[in-house]
Structure 1
Amino acid sequence: MHAVSAIGLCGVAACAPGLDAAPTADLVLHHAHVYTLTWPEPSTDGTPSPQAPYDSASGWHHDATAVAVREGRIVYVGTDSGALALAGPDTRVIDLEGHVLLPGLVDAHTHVAELGESLDRVNLTGVATEAEAVAIIAERAARTPKGEWILGYGWDEGAWANRYPDKRLLSARVPDHPVVLRSLHGFASWANARALAQAGITRDTPVPSGGEIRTDATGEPTGLVLNRAVPLLDNAVPRPTPAQRDSQVVRALRVMNASGYTGVHEAGVAPDVMDSFERLAERDALPLRVYAMLSARDSALMRRWISRGPFTSANGLLTVRAVKAYYDGALGSRGAQLLADYADRPGHRGVSGGTYGFDQRLVADAMTAGFQVGIHAIGDAGNRATLDFIDSVTRAAPTARGLRHRVEHAQVLSPADLARFATLGVTASVQPPHAVEDKGWAETRLGSERIAGAYAWRALRQAGAALVFSSDLPGSDWSPFYGLHSAITRQDTSGAPPGGWYPAQRLTPEEAVRGYTVWSADAGFDEREAGTIALGRRADLTVLDVDPFRAEPRALLRGGVVLTVSRGRVVFERGASAPR
């Protein structure tokens, strides 16, 4: 077993304030395979550090077997006997039966408010055809009172891009309910005639800059909107009450607890969701840490927070010090801005910048006020322009430097721009599932040459860029096992393609785990509190029944979460009743 300092917190130097000389633990987790991740980073080609609990003959091995927690902090890491010595009559002691204990997992790009909404919506993920989707919606309509909205999500705007649906069949089968069906990644929306009428979308509706309202040969809206026109339908849907929004958020965060997560970075937080986070933090009702990224598309919200400045709640569960902006659209819907024409649509290069709602002055003001910015950029032109923008702001405003600015997705990159991430100190916030979900059509969009710079995780690492991993839920499955498998294999859940899609860009198991732990802590300015299992750190912990360091990659897809601990509290336990 790799050497770990097997002493209590008071054995390091002096006792932490409030801890007795011989503290009794609140929680002891023992008989575990603990990977502390306290050893140095691997090299950029993935080779483990010489100090890592790894050798070429036997592979990876855990570096501790037990952890003890008191008052939300880790007070011991080491052997079973050492941890159990800290147990008292009121200590909860859990035998983990040889399961794997990791630092708490963090999903660094989420939309949990949408996840909360989607739990009550019709799930069209994986639906292959318009007719199949309409049949599912018609079934929901049959048991929904007339006039009530029917909302769905999940049809794939990338896979369906050459056969987008329209309102005709949907309106014929579901005439008495307004229906709005958002696409998988939110860059397209599909509605029936009744929803179009309630949204006031007609042949005379002005098309928003950076958006598209599809029309038929007569000029009438077909029921499909793209990119910046999607809010025309979103804004027509009745908003939840504050109580409903709080319920949705908590329900979604409980789902994340059950999936092994102890934190999320919520991307593009709207005003009502921000209000919900603040109410829940005040009541100590957030079951995990929320790192909120304000929506730069809401100028009033942004100006309030620029005046207010970065914020962390008293209990540490809510942090507001980041902003989410959009530079371009999505590759699937051909909204990503490319340096050259789309391979499958000559003369078209996507949408971006001011036409896509990117307010340079507003975002620059937020950066100058001390906010980290995470800018959505998909295409190679969009990524280059985003890096140029970050460079220009940080050159002009010293206060904007060193804030670990991020490019959200960093999906298609020109080789000339790879090294700029490291030079500018910009983190590439990538989603491993996107590569395996997009592989069926991405090369068609980009062609055989540009695809080499797409989803290029290893190339980014070798260029010295910092990475962080996430799901972009609910557009992709948020299971950490799915994310780890995608990063390690670049294969879908069926194992295709053999050897992985552009396998040179695969990452190692250690890098994949770091993407959801150490690297996410760094991306969220939380590296002194989380990301590793060490004395004095916040007790955010995840227990899995499969070892991602040692398991055959396909076995990851059969893995399950055993236990999730947030601030020393068990917030999910397999087989236990869900918290009320």
Structure 2
Amino acid sequence: MRLFPLQCSLFVVASLAALNTAQADTVLDHANGYTLNSKNELVRFTALAFDDSGRIIAVGSAAEVAAYVNAKAPKAKHIDMKNKTVLPGLIDAHGHIFGLGDMLTQLDLSSSASLADALKATASYAAANPGQSWLRGRGWNQEIWKLGRFPTAAELDGAVLERPVWLERVDGHAGWANSAALKLAGITNGTPDPVGGKIVRDAAGKATGVLVDAAQDLVNKVLPKQTEAAARTTLERALAEIARVGLTSVHDAGIDTGNDRLYRDYADHGKLTARVYAMIGGTERDFDVLASAGPLKSYANDMYALRAVKLYADGALGSRGAALSAPYSDEPKSHGLLFRGDAQMRAMMEKAMQKGYQVNVHAIGDAGNRQVLGAYRTLAPATGGSLLRHRIEHAQVVAPADIAQFKNIGIIASMQPTHATSDMNMAEQRIGPARMKGAYAWRSFMKQGARLACGSDFPVESPNPFYGIHAAVTRQDAAGMPAGGWHAEQAMTLTQALRCFTLDAAYAGHQENAIGSLEAGKWADFIVIDQDLFKIPAAAIRNTVVLQTWVAGRQVYGQK
């Protein structure tokens, strides 16, 4: 690790023309601060000042900041940080805010260790919520349960028979229904698989109760519509959790018109406690409505932006929906699901690009990534691709020969470090050792010059960014397994991981000049934590506790 000294001329003073009228309301003193600068150098600081608008006006040593602030705002409020560690606010480049709120208000099966645990939790939830017409939840994972198969509707009927139950898999790419839910959705043994989806069936051809990818729409279309009040509760629960874990900005990967309306309303009324960089879900009706006025580059002092589109190329590895060029190693009859043909995918991408939107495509399998890279290679030169900063979300299993294309075409790899440590119990079984060379291959991407933006894909994973930083650096799970790290040759350094969750994530949202580091002229988005990441064993990173979260100079979370 290389730390660069404080240098006033490069780091402390912003444009005087911009700051002459600023009032430095607050100064942080005695901080143990770390940030990256515009050269991606890790820099230390002990003091930071921001004005009443929430913008940083000075950061550096105590003497440098005092000299600047005393001349500009001698009556500024001072906060003694007592040598607590201060970092730039962390950015999750791929999350689902309303999905997180749903998980916090519905049945959470993420801690279930077995099918029996999940069924018991479902029965208890049903008993505790007699007024709910549908019982909904998320988080189950048959791989953790060691079932060797998907669960069934008959098993779920044993927990709840009379009311419909719909439980999404941890990755959101499969759902588990009981018989009542299947009946309301009109799913019979003769229902055909929709394009881009699969109805899981037994050896006799009977629908078992699990629906993969697009087949989930058969149930989704009959679910009760969420009320406005419920949507607000969902958003507020999610925002509270986001602030608690130290996220000051989230790239919301797939929103609709209702989500957009709430984000703008919360931003207008000062209730949006994290910055949201949103992606319109798809290029159909919601896109046509939301894109009618063109990309929204900034709203309410950079609290909200809507200048990207989220598309899907394939499914997920855990449910064998990720599209692979060769069959799955543990299911030789399946290649996964490529949701659309090449021409249709290109048409959707081009529609968004021509409107000036960044295009961010979910691609997990090597065939999915290859399809999307091919479309970018064809479309980007004619649609300002380098300026729009297009992305592939996840880029989880990429043919090694294709990794260089990310740099060559100028595509950002939006990746989630905790996916590696969550998937290591099944990934190699799914794809075999040869394909592992291009899987979760963060270091390989970096060596070839590709830019990475880190996130979590919450609620698929925890929104806690320190879990992601820990996974990036150690390639180990919460228990410290495996010893030495899983495919440790692909691990990041701590500085690389911090950059991936700050400056590079900001770049992926066209926001590197406003957030991502603590530099004069940027927003005062920062967190205070209970330990110095650069002075502790890597294994302890995961245990970091956020003491305070600040957005634009306003404290939005403080540990009680």
Aligned position for 2:25: 26
State the secondary structure of the residue aligned to 1:340.
coil
In 2, Cα distance between equivalents of 1:540 and 1:442: 36
Aligned position for 1:450: 435
Percent identical among aligned pairs is 39
For residue 377 of structure 2, the aligned residue among 391, 395, 398 is 391
Aligned position for 2:321: 335
Do 1:9 and 1:536's aligned partners in 2 also have CA atoms closer than 8 Å?
Answer: no
Please give the root-mean-square deviation of Cα atoms over the aligned residues, in Å: 2.4
Q: Deviations over 1:368-422 (max 9, x none)?
A: 2211111111111111111001111113x24344211111000111111111100
For residue 308 of structure 1, the aligned residue among 269, 287, 293 is 293
1:66 maps onto 2:40 in alignment: no
Do 1:75 and 1:536's aligned partners in 2 also have CA atoms closer than 8 Å?
Answer: yes
Provide closer, same or farther for how the CA distance between residues 202 and 6 of structure 1 changes in structure 2, counting only shifts above 3 A: same
Provide closer, same or farther for how the CA distance between residues 500 and 357 of structure 1 changes in structure 2, counting only shifts above 3 A: farther
How far has the Cα of 1:136 moved from its partner? 0.8
Aligned position for 2:477: 492
Q: Deviations over 1:257-293 (max 9, x none)?
A: 1111110000011232222222222323211110001
Do 1:5 and 1:77's aligned partners in 2 also have CA atoms closer than 8 Å?
Answer: no
For residue 57 of structure 2, the aligned residue among 65, 72, 75 is 75
How far has the Cα of 1:92 moved from its partner? 4.3
Q: Deviations over 1:82-132 (max 9, x none)?
A: 546748797543222212211111000000101111111111113232222
Q: Deviations over 1:198-231 (max 9, x none)?
A: 2232234342111111234565432211111112
Aligned position for 2:254: 268
1:101 maps onto 2:79 in alignment: no
Q: Which amino acid aligns with 1:570?
A: Q
How far has the Cα of 1:530 moved from its partner? 1.1
In 1, Cα distance between equivalents of 2:394 and 2:12: 43
For residue 375 of structure 1, the aligned residue among 361, 380, 394 is 361
Aligned position for 1:14: 16
Aligned position for 1:49: none
Q: Which amino acid aligns with 1:77?
A: V
For residue 366 of structure 1, the aligned residue among 352, 360, 378 is 352
In 2, Cα distance between equivalents of 1:434 and 1:13: 41
For residue 318 of structure 1, the aligned residue among 295, 300, 304 is 304
Q: Which amino acid aligns with 1:380?
A: D
For residue 513 of structure 2, the aligned residue among 509, 524, 528 is 528
Q: How many residues align?
A: 552
Aligned position for 1:131: 116
Aligned pairs for 1:523-562 within 5 A: 523-562=508-547
Aligned position for 1:289: 275
Aligned position for 2:410: 425
In 1, Cα distance between equivalents of 2:342 and 2:103: 25
Do 1:407 and 1:429's aligned partners in 2 also have CA atoms closer than 8 Å?
Answer: yes
Do 1:77 and 1:83's aligned partners in 2 also have CA atoms closer than 8 Å?
Answer: yes
Q: Which amino acid aligns with 2:58?
A: Y
Aligned pairs for 1:35-54 within 5 A: 35-38=34-37, 40-41=39-40, 52=41
In 1, Cα distance between equivalents of 2:275 and 2:158: 45
Do 1:564 and 1:570's aligned partners in 2 also have CA atoms closer than 8 Å?
Answer: yes
For residue 400 of structure 2, the aligned residue among 410, 415, 431 is 415
Aligned pairs for 1:196-275 within 5 A: 196-216=182-202, 219-275=205-261
In 2, Cα distance between equivalents of 1:392 and 1:248: 40
Do 2:136 and 2:167's aligned partners in 1 also have CA atoms closer than 8 Å?
Answer: yes
Report the TM-score when normalising by structure 2.
0.93
Provide closer, same or farther for how the CA distance between residues 398 and 235 of structure 1 changes in structure 2, counting only shifts above 3 A: closer
Q: Which amino acid aligns with 2:325?
A: L
State the secondary structure of the residue aligned to 1:304.
helix
Q: Which runs of 5+ in 1 are unaligned?
A: 42-51, 54-61, 576-580
Which one has the bigger helix percentage?
A: 2
Q: Deviations over 1:50-79 (max 9, x none)?
A: xx46xxxxxxxx621010110110011123
In 1, Cα distance between equivalents of 2:434 and 2:11: 54
Do 1:110 and 1:473's aligned partners in 2 also have CA atoms closer than 8 Å?
Answer: yes
Q: Deviations over 1:316-374 (max 9, x none)?
A: 21101101110011111111111111111113211114169964312211112211111
Do 1:484 and 1:556's aligned partners in 2 also have CA atoms closer than 8 Å?
Answer: yes
Do 2:6 and 2:61's aligned partners in 1 also have CA atoms closer than 8 Å?
Answer: no
Provide closer, same or farther for how the CA distance between residues 442 and 9 of structure 1 changes in structure 2, counting only shifts above 3 A: closer
Which range moves more in the overlay, 238-247 or 504-513?
238-247
In 2, Cα distance between equivalents of 1:399 and 1:452: 32
Provide closer, same or farther for how the CA distance between residues 146 and 33 of structure 1 changes in structure 2, counting only shifts above 3 A: closer
Provide closer, same or farther for how the CA distance between residues 481 and 169 of structure 1 changes in structure 2, counting only shifts above 3 A: same
Aligned position for 2:462: 477
For residue 156 of structure 1, the aligned residue among 134, 141, 145 is 141
Q: Which amino acid aligns with 2:558?
A: E
In 1, Cα distance between equivalents of 2:133 and 2:212: 24
Q: Which amino acid aligns with 2:177?
A: A
Q: Which runs of 5+ in 2 are unaligned?
A: none
Q: Deviations over 1:110-165 (max 9, x none)?
A: 00101111111111113232222111111111222266221111012554673211
Aligned position for 1:502: 487
Do 2:446 and 2:452's aligned partners in 1 also have CA atoms closer than 8 Å?
Answer: yes
1:564 maps onto 2:545 in alignment: no
Provide closer, same or farther for how the CA distance between residues 421 and 194 of structure 1 changes in structure 2, counting only shifts above 3 A: same
Q: Deviations over 1:166-187 (max 9, x none)?
A: 1112213312322111110101
In 1, Cα distance between equivalents of 2:10 and 2:555: 21
Report the TM-score when normalising by structure 1.
0.90
In 2, Cα distance between equivalents of 1:89 and 1:120: 47
Q: Deviations over 1:459-514 (max 9, x none)?
A: 01011110010000001012121111100000111111111001100000000000
